[in-house]
Structure 1
Amino acid sequence: MKHFFLIALISFITLPIYASQEECIAFHTSTYLTQMPMNFFQQFFAPKDKRTLAEIVGPLKRNPDYKGWYESAPVNIPYLGQKIKITFTQGEDSSFMAGAEVVLKQFLQLNEANRLNDSKLVERNYQDGVSSSGAEPLNIKSAQDVWNFVRPTDIFIEKNTNGKYYLAISCTCEWEKTHGLQLVFREGKKLTRASGHDGQY
């Protein structure tokens, strides 16, 4: 934070003369955004959960099969109403873990009501799957019934090459035995994709 205020002071001292107040504001905004560390924003907008990542997930264990992957013991997930293992795919990168902590805390704010509100997106995947495969329809009378045929198995927190974080719930489902189902939450905030395990977010 000391560096942030020093940048602000220097930029005001060295501020050139602008034709308008708008140009002045634009100058300062661009200065702060380009010189402020990214995790300042992550921490500023993080949910007010005071627990540390270690307090939430406990000790992490290295996955012997995938380099850099670290796994937790099963963690209580309000969205699912069950405990499930969480994998951090860049667990040796401290900056990744700082961002992953924010993503996880955002996701843990979601509960059963949020999941039921997401039912239509999952049901759409079911309808598309049954339509394309010609399989027998399941006993789904309303969108919320689709959850009776979904079994979450793992949670993964990942970051793509553009620096965007995603939390994905890996599931098995009754209508797609081969590719299963993944539920993708951009930055852990909201379900944005329900699809087979196709490597896309």
Structure 2
Amino acid sequence: MTDWPTTLRLPYFDGAEVPFEVTPEAAAHGTETVTRAIAAFTGLTAADRLADSLHVYNYYRDFHAAVGGEDWLDAEMGVPESPSEIWPHVTPGPLQLTVDHYAEGKPLYMVMEAECAWEEEHGLMMVWKGGAQLTKTGGYDGHVSNANAYANDKLAGVVYSASNPALTTRRD
């Protein structure tokens, strides 16, 4: 077994360094495949983060509406007025390269447990397929896709599955 790095520096998050692990199931894909996923993820930039902003912002907006955020959350964290303004309220956390146990071929996913100012209990889970494409955001639930989380193939391609359908986002 290869000795993988235990931390990664992430240009996506302005160079933040976070703990990192490769699950045994992911490692079984082989050194070349794992290395490619790590390289894809560490190749994402702040521009990629800005392009992904709407998915995270809509998670905030959906949560805000569900809990009556204007009554208390606005005073605690302020009010991000646009998708790009959500990032100061996100703190990147531990990363894990894992597999989709339900999909054929068990593709690799980079999963981050981030903290966010609006949802302290469930935080923010961000998932990138192959380390390259953001495929899921929302509260941490341990699932690498919304289709898996809700056992609903109609959610394939949904990045953020909102309580308010107007805030649901999809991959481009």
- TM-score w.r.t. the length of structure 1 is 0.60
For residues 96-175 of structure 1, the aligned pairs below 5 Å read 96-135=30-69, 136-137=73-74, 138-161=78-101, 162=103, 163-175=106-118
Q: SS at 1:101's partner residue?
A: helix
Structure 1 CA distance, aligned partners of 2:26 and 2:13?
A: 28
8 Å Cα contact 2:27/2:34 also seen in 1: no
Query: 1:96: how far off?
Result: 4.7
Describe the superposition over 1:165-193 as per-residue Cα deviations: whole angstroms up to 9, x where unpaired: 11012101111011000111111111121
**How far, CA to CA, are the matches of 1:92 and 1:100 in structure 2?**
7
Letter in 1 for 2:43: Q
The within-5 A match list for 1:1-201 is 59-60=3-4, 72-81=5-14, 82-90=16-24, 93-135=27-69, 136-137=73-74, 138-161=78-101, 162=103, 163-201=106-144
Q: Which of structures 1 and 2 has the bigger CA Rg?
A: 1
Question: Is the alpha carbon distance of 1:92 and 1:177 closer, same or farther for their aligned partners in structure 2, counting shifts above 3 Å?
Answer: closer
SS state at 2:126 partner:
strand
Q: Deviations over 1:9-37 (max 9, x none)?
A: xxxxxxxxxxxxxxxxxxxxxxxxxxxxx
Aligned-CA RMSD value: 2.0
CA distance, structure 2, for counterparts of residue 198 and residue 93 of structure 1? 22
Structure 1 distance, partners of 2:45, 2:6, is 20
Where does structure 2 lack aligned partners over 5 or more consecutive residues? 145-172
Q: 1:101 to 1:189 in 2, by over 3 A?
A: same
The offset of 1:106, in angstroms, is 1.2
| TM-score (norm: length of structure 2) | 0.70
CA distance in 2, matches of 1:193, 1:176: 16
**Deviation of 1:97 (Å):** 4.5
Partner Cα distance (2:34, 2:18) in 1 = 17
- Equivalent residue number for residue 8 of structure 1: none
Question: What is the distance in 1 between the residues matched to 2:37 and 2:121?
Answer: 29
CA separation of 1:96 and 1:160: change in aligned 2, threshold 3 A: farther
Contact 1:153–1:171 (Cα < 8 Å) also in 2? yes
Look up the equivalent residue of 1:79 and give its one-letter code: Y
Task: Supply the AA of the counterpart residue of 2:86.
Answer: V
Query: CA contact under 8 A between 1:91 and 1:97: conserved in structure 2?
Result: no
Q: Is the 8 A contact 1:107 1:189 kept in 2?
A: yes
Q: CA deviation at 1:122?
A: 0.5
| Higher relative contact order, chain-length normalized (CA < 8 Å, sep 6+) | 2
SS at match of 1:76: strand
- Structure 1 runs, 4 residues or longer, greater than 4 Å off: 91-94
Q: Mark the CA change 1:92 to 1:172 in structure 2 (over 3 Å): closer, same or farther.
A: closer
Shift of 1:91: 7.1
Fraction of identical pairs, as percent: 24
CA distance in 2, matches of 1:200, 1:148: 25
Deviations 1:94-135 (A, max 9, x none): 435542222111112210111011111100100111111222
